[in-house]
Amino acid sequence: MSVPQPDSDEVVEQCENCAVKTPHNVSIKLITESNKEENTAFSREPYRITECSQCGAKTRQRMNDA
């Protein structure tokens, strides 16, 4: 299987779905973790979002797991 070359905004990573290293679009997104109306501004956490350019599988990983 031929692996496509990454664009400048892509990172080559192991894809759990494809089971090979493929180009991924990677971004950081702030996600609100609280469902409560009050203090939602304090419940946002950064997540690393990846999307495989080959199969479209998406993953998200919380960056501040303590």
In a domain, 28, yes or no: yes
Please give the Cα distance from 42 to 17 (Å, whole number): 34
Q: Is residue 17 part of a domain?
A: no
Strands (E), the chain: 10-14, 21-32, 44-52, 58-62
Indicate whether 66 belongs to any domain: yes
Share of the chain above pLDDT 70, in %: 82
Any domain includes 47: yes
pLDDT at 14: 94
Residue 31 located in a structural domain: yes
- Does the pLDDT value for residue 26 go beyond 90? yes
**Has residue 45 been placed in a domain?**
yes
What pLDDT is recorded for position 62?
Answer: 93
**Any domain includes 10:** no
Domain count, the chain: 1
Closest to 28 measured CA to CA, from 16, 41, 14, 11: 11
Q: Is residue 48 situated within a structural domain?
A: yes
For position 6, what pLDDT does the model report?
53
Q: Which of 15, 50, 46 is nearest to 30 (CA)?
A: 46
Mean pLDDT of 5-32: 86
- From the number of C-beta atoms within 10 Å of its C-beta (0-12, 13-18, 19+), residue 12 rates as middle
Q: What residue numbers bound the domain in which 32 lies?
A: 24-66
Average pLDDT, the chain: 84
